[in-house]
Amino acid sequence: MTKQWQQDQNFDQIADKFEKNIYGTSKGRLRHELLSHYLRHHLPERPLKCLDAGGGTGMMAKEMLDLGHSVLVNDISDQALELARAKLAGFADVAFHCGPLQSLAADCEFDLILCHAVLEWLHDPFDALKHLFSRLKPGGYISLSFFNRDAHRFSNLLYGNFDYIDKDFVVSNRVRLNPNNALPPSQVLDFVEKAGLDIRHQAGIRCFHDYMRDKTMQSSHYEQIKAKEIQYGTVHPYLWLGRYFHIIAVKQDARL
C-alpha cells in the first residue's frame, strides 16, 4: 500500500536546476529576503532548536545558523541535502535527516519549525501540518509559507488563462517545478487556529513583484519593490494578493 508521503514531490535529479530557478531569480531572492525579514522581527532573541522541514538546499537553514540557532535540515531529496551539506559545511550546530517529515523521531521537539514553500508539493499538506504541530514545543514558533491558490487564480485571470482556471489548474503535461497543490490562505489560517495555535503574523509574499507590467523593473527597481512589499505586505487588501502567503504562529496548548 502506497503511503501518502510517497506521493510527495521529490526533487532528486533536478536539485541543481531547482536551486538555480528559485534562488537565481529576483522571485526567489525576494521571497527569501522577505521571509528572513519577518522572521528576524518576530522570533525571540535567544538560541532556538530549529527544524527546517523540507529545507531543500539549505538556504533558510543558513540564515538561521547565522542567527545562532541550531538546525535540523529535513528533506526527502538526498540530492538537495547534498547541496545543503556543502553549503553548511562551515557550521557545527547543524544536522540532516533524509526522509519524510512524518519519519522524524516521535520524541523530537523543536522551539522553531520552518516549513517554507513545502505544503504545495505534498499529497496531504494538512496531515503534514498535524505532524509538525506535534513536534513543536509549547511556546514554540512555526513559520509557514505556501503557494497562494487565490493569488494563483487571480494572476491567471490577468493573463487570460481561462481554460486553465476552468480545469481547476490541472494540465496533462505539468512542469515539475510548478507547485501542484496550492492552498487558499483562509483554509490554512482556519486549520492553524483550530489546532490551538496563536497566529502572531500573516503577510503576502510578492504582492506586487510578479504582477508588474514591465518585468525588467523586477531587477532594475528591486530595492524599491522590496521596500513596498514590506510596507504593504501585511496590510489589507494587499496581503491576500501575495503569490505566497506567510504565517508565524505560536503553540500555546501543551496537548497538541
CATH classification at residue 161: 3.40.50.150
Write down the pLDDT at residue 252. Answer: 86
Q: Three cell numbers at 146? A: 505556501
C-alpha–C-alpha distance, residues 152 and 171, integer Å: 15
What lies within 8 Å, CB to CB, of 131 at 6+ separation is 101, 102, 104
Residue 26 lies in a domain: yes
Using CB atoms within 10 A of its CB, is residue 196 exposed (0-12), middle (13-18) or buried (19+)?
middle
In the annotated binding site, the residues are: 31, 54-55, 75, 116
Q: What is the DSSP letter of 27?
A: H
**Long-range pairs for 77-81: beta carbons < 8 A, 24 or more residues apart:** 77/10, 77/11, 77/12, 77/15, 78/12, 79/11, 79/12, 79/13, 79/15, 79/16, 80/11, 80/12, 80/15, 80/18, 80/56
In the annotated binding site for S-adenosyl-L-methionine, the residues are: 31, 54-55, 75, 116
Write down the pLDDT at residue 240. Answer: 98
C-alpha–C-alpha distance, residues 132 and 53, integer Å: 8
| Structural domains in the chain (count) | 1
Residue 256 lies in a domain: no
Neighbours of 17 (CB within 10 A): 13
CA 24 to chain centre: 17
Write down the pLDDT at residue 21. Answer: 64
Write down the pLDDT at residue 110. Answer: 97
Between the alpha carbon of residue 11 and those of residues 17, 18, 72, 122, 148, the distances in Å are 9, 8, 19, 12, 21
Residues of the chain with pLDDT under 50: 1-2, 175, 254-256
Taking only the tens place, the pLDDT of each residue in 67-122 is 999 999 999 999 999 999 999 999 999 999 999 988 888 788 999 999 999 999 89
C-alpha–C-alpha distance, residues 148 and 245, integer Å: 6
Q: What is the DSSP letter of 236?
A: T
Range of the domain at 132: 4-251
Residue 19 lies in a domain: yes
Write down the pLDDT at residue 197. Answer: 97
CA within 13 Å, CB half, 175? 6
Q: Are strands 110-116 and 244-251 parallel, antiparallel or unpaired?
A: unpaired
